[in-house]
Structure 1
Amino acid sequence: MSTLFISDLHLSAERPDITGLFIHFLQHEARQADALYILGDLFDAWIGDDDLTPFHCRVINALRALTDSGVAVYFIAGNRDFLIGRRFARMTGVTLLPESAVIDLYGSATLIMHGDTLCTLDTGYLRFRKVIRNRVLLALLTRLPLAWRRALAAKLRSGSASQQPLSHEQLRRMDATEEAVQAALVKSAATRIIHGHTHRPDIHQHQLPDGQQATRIVLGDWYEQGSILAVHPDNTFELRNEPLS
Structure 2
Amino acid sequence: MDTPTSDRFAELRAPAHWQAVDFISDLHLQASEPATFECWLHYLQRPPAERADALFILGDLFEVWVGDDLLQAALPPTGTQHSADHGFWRRCAEALHAHGQHTPVYFIHGNRDFLLGPAGLSACGMHGLSDPTVLAFLGQRWLLSHGDALCLDDTDYMRFRAMVRQPDWQQAFLAQPLAEREAIARGLRTQSELRKRGLANDPTLWADVDATAAKDWLRRGAASTLVHGHTHRPAQHELGDDLRRVVLSDWDALAHPPRAEVLRLDARGFHRLPQPLSGHERQTLGC
Is residue 27 of structure 1 aligned with residue 9 of structure 2?
no
Give 1:29 deviation, angstroms. 6.3
Assess if the C-alpha contact under 8 Å between 1:171 and 1:199 holds in 2.
Answer: no
The one of 208, 226, 248 equivalent to 1:175 is 208
Assess if the C-alpha contact under 8 Å between 1:74 and 1:94 holds in 2.
Answer: yes
Residue in structure 2 matched with residue 129 of structure 1 by the alignment? 161
Q: Aligned equivalents of 2:262 and 2:30: distance in 1?
A: 19
Q: Aligned equivalents of 1:227 and 1:176: distance in 2?
A: 20
Is residue 17 of structure 1 aligned with residue 11 of structure 2?
no
The one of 92, 98, 121 equivalent to 1:65 is 98
Give the stretch that moved more between structures: 23-32 or 7-16: 23-32
Assess if the C-alpha contact under 8 Å between 2:22 and 2:55 holds in 1.
Answer: yes
Matches within 5 A, 1:140-151: 140-151=172-183
Assess if the C-alpha contact under 8 Å between 1:200 and 1:220 holds in 2.
Answer: yes
Q: Aligned equivalents of 1:108 and 1:199: distance in 2?
A: 26
Residue in structure 2 matched with residue 214 of structure 1 by the alignment? 243
Give 1:107 deviation, angstroms. 1.4
Q: Aligned equivalents of 1:104 and 1:8: distance in 2?
A: 23
Residue in structure 2 matched with residue 155 of structure 1 by the alignment? 187
Give 1:57's aligned amino acid: R
Assess if the C-alpha contact under 8 Å between 1:10 and 1:222 holds in 2.
Answer: yes
Structure 1 stretches of 5 or more lacking a match? none
Assess if the C-alpha contact under 8 Å between 1:89 and 1:95 holds in 2.
Answer: yes
The one of 184, 195, 198 equivalent to 2:231 is 198
Is residue 36 of structure 1 aligned with residue 55 of structure 2?
yes
Deviations 1:209-234 (Å, cap 9, x if unpaired)?
xxxx02311001112321210001x1
Give 1:173 deviation, angstroms. 2.9
Q: What's the TM-score, normalizing by structure 1?
A: 0.91
Residue in structure 1 matched with residue 116 of structure 2 by the alignment? 84
Secondary structure at the aligned position of 1:20 is classed as helix
Deviations 1:163-222 (Å, cap 9, x if unpaired)?
x786254664321121121111112111111000011000112223xxxx0231100111
Residue in structure 2 matched with residue 49 of structure 1 by the alignment? 68
Give 1:219's aligned amino acid: L
Assess if the C-alpha contact under 8 Å between 1:121 and 1:173 holds in 2.
Answer: no
Is residue 115 of structure 1 aligned with residue 147 of structure 2?
yes
Assess if the C-alpha contact under 8 Å between 1:42 and 1:81 holds in 2.
Answer: yes
Give 1:54 deviation, angstroms. 0.6
Give 1:215's aligned amino acid: R
Secondary structure at the aligned position of 1:51 is classed as helix
Assess if the C-alpha contact under 8 Å between 1:35 and 1:73 holds in 2.
Answer: yes
Secondary structure at the aligned position of 2:193 is classed as coil
Q: Aligned equivalents of 2:22 and 2:274: distance in 1?
A: 13
Q: Tell me the C-alpha RMSD between the 2 structures.
A: 2.0
Assess if the C-alpha contact under 8 Å between 1:47 and 1:150 holds in 2.
Answer: yes
Q: Aligned equivalents of 1:90 and 1:172: distance in 2?
A: 38
Assess if the C-alpha contact under 8 Å between 2:215 and 2:243 holds in 1.
Answer: no
Give 1:33's aligned amino acid: A
Assess if the C-alpha contact under 8 Å between 2:70 and 2:178 holds in 1.
Answer: yes
For this pair of structures, how many residues does the alignment match? 239
Is residue 230 of structure 1 aligned with residue 264 of structure 2?
yes
